[in-house]
Amino acid sequence: MSLTNATPLEVAKAAQVGSRRLAVLPTDERNAALIAIHKALADAKDEVLAANKQDLEDANKAAAGGTLRQSLVKRLDLGKPGKYEDMLQGILDVRDLEDPINKTTARTLLDDNLILSRVTCPIGVLLIIFEARPEVIANISALAIKSGNAAILKGGRESSHSFAAIASIISHALSTTSVPSDCLQLVQTRDVIADLLKLDSYIDLCIPRGGNELVRYVKTTASIPVLGHADGICTTYLCADYPADKATKIIVDAKVSYPAGCNALEQLLVHEDALATTLPPVAQALLEKGVSLRCDAPSLSALKKALDPILRPSSKKPRRRTTKQNS
């Protein structure tokens, strides 16, 4: 991985050359690169966490000054119990996946001795733009190498120290393998994004990972294809006959396990027949975990007797009402 201040065009050209070399590497050589990255990051844990600590200090100051969302600060912390280990395990999980390259997914006999086959191949050069979470570098690097794609990565400035540390470690690890270092590049300056998004001759696909504002900016600016959505899938539907204990476990986990995540539960859509049966225990469990509930009129009415001191009407008009299943 190159930590680069090169021009956008230089970065894209180098990535394209690297992608062609990576695409023809055999599976065992790509897997060997993942093992090298895993070992290097495991050995350098203290170094990465020290850099991450600096990012957290800067982010907390920015949040206190109102220039950074608190949810982004929470996503930064690699020192949370198990988070660094999860990042490392993710690399091994990708290594153990079946090779996605050169798989025949369809074959059609067009004529005598003429067969049309659909075979999987690398996309080429990916541009990944993301916010906050420093472990994304390891995630993306592993997936890109496994799938034979080069990747240009642009992270948020709030994680700059963590990104630099991880990129340096991965770069050194790749230097001992057959994977060319230009296949993974981390660009540091923010003003390169607009230029990179126009380089459709060299970059094949852009994947923005972040909030609504980031994704919309990329989709309206890019000349290259974009794989992204501006809204998270953050709604859970509670049907009438689902067991209350299972519903409670699923819904609480969706909201509480990682509330800072962009895919944490934001809206619970409840069937009207579940208002008086399943919803109360679900709501009680959420409240016990410190979740604040904003209820529409039917939901508030159903919960009022047991939870009236805690609940309050929503300040916004609900996007959807409770529904009734067809008989």
pLDDT in tens, 101-113: 999 999 999 998 8
Which of the pair, 89 or 319, is modelled with greater confidence?
A: 89
Same domain, 36 and 185: yes
pLDDT class of 233 with cuts at 50, 70, 90: low
- Rounded Cα gap, residues 5 and 161, in angstroms: 15
Same domain, 177 and 38: yes
Same domain, 97 and 143: yes
Q: How far apart are the first and last CA of the chain?
A: 58
* Span of 45-59, 237-251, 313-327 with lowest mean pLDDT: 313-327
Per the prediction, the chain carries an average pLDDT of: 88
Same domain, 262 and 164: no
pLDDT higher than 50, residue 326: no
How confident is the model at residue 314, as a pLDDT? Answer: 58
Same domain, 154 and 207: yes
Residue 263, domain member (yes or no): yes
Same domain, 201 and 247: no
Same domain, 22 and 82: yes
Which residues constitute the domain of residue 259? Answer: 235-313
Contact 97, 143 (CB under 8 A): no
Same domain, 75 and 202: yes
Residue ending a domain, among 167, 195, 221, is: 221
How confident is the model at residue 311, as a pLDDT? Answer: 58
How confident is the model at residue 230, as a pLDDT? Answer: 59
Same domain, 178 and 97: yes
CB-count exposure of residue 274 (10 Å: 0-12, 13-18, 19+) = buried
CA-wise closest residue to 130 among 162, 156, 163? 156
How confident is the model at residue 188, as a pLDDT? Answer: 75
**pLDDT, tens only, 143-161:** 999 999 999 999 888 888 9
**pLDDT, tens only, 21-36:** 999 999 999 999 999 9
Tell me, what CATH number does 131's domain have?
Answer: 3.40.605.10
Same domain, 137 and 74: yes
Same domain, 267 and 145: no
Residue 325, domain member (yes or no): no
Residue 46, domain member (yes or no): yes
Residue 200, domain member (yes or no): yes
- Residue 120 makes CB contacts below 8 A (sequence gap 6+) with 100, 101, 102, 103, 105
**pLDDT, tens only, 193-229:** 899 999 999 999 999 987 778 888 899 999 999 998 7
Residue 34, domain member (yes or no): yes
How confident is the model at residue 320, as a pLDDT? Answer: 46
Same domain, 202 and 307: no
